[in-house]
Structure 1
Amino acid sequence: MYKISEFAEMTGLSKETLRYYAEVKLLEPAFIDPNNNYRYYDDGSYFLAILLVQLRKFRFTIQEMISVMEDKSFTHLEDLLKQKKKIIQMQIKELRLQVKEIDEFLASGKEES
């Protein structure tokens, strides 16, 4: 079992984030000592925390992460990741178009000078 500070260091999640994740039922401690309310995490918690770190990197919302965690078998995770990938690819396409439009706008300003 790992204290919250040890677990935070291991996972890269802050203690505040871990407390928030517990509050929204995203990642609850494996054990809370009733005498001092210290939170303890186990190896299973570590796996889930690392998954959450990855989902954050992929810009999953809290609600999307909750949806992933509620599906204990993770059967829909691949579909959600593919969906997220499509959204990111569309955003890249839109951003490239905006860059092109900016370049064209800048070029038209230089022609008038």
Structure 2
Amino acid sequence: MALSLIPKRFMSSALQRICYNLSGFNKYGLWRDDLIDDTDQDVIEALTRIDEKTIDERNYRILRAVQLSIQKDVLPKDQWTKLENDKLYLTPVVKQVRKEREEREEWNKLY
């Protein structure tokens, strides 16, 4: 009964925030898209399509996370990535690349 009084929108955002913090990558200052496997051909193509500044920022976050991991340390809590600040910079580009590849494969199949 008490749970029915809590709006579903609040529950989903609260649950989302809890899961985000439990994942642990934010303690190293990483964003969600920093974790995408960059050995996939679609991701490699997507990385060539985004601007140089974004690539440099991504590389810095990854190197800082590796250094912290080696030191068995995490960032101070005020420097952790917050869910509100985490933006998907690579995912839309990867989706577009995959869509283009699938269209190209479909076209090649037909002709």
Answer whether TM exceeds 0.5 for this pair.
Answer: no
TM tier relative to shorter chain: 0.3 to 0.5
Q: Between the two structures, name the one with larger relative contact order (CA 8 Å, sep ≥ 6).
A: 2
Kindly indicate which of the two structures has a greater share of residues assigned to strand. 1
**Which of these two proteins has the greater Rg computed from alpha carbons?**
1
TM normalised by structure 1 equals 0.36
TM normalised by structure 2 equals 0.36
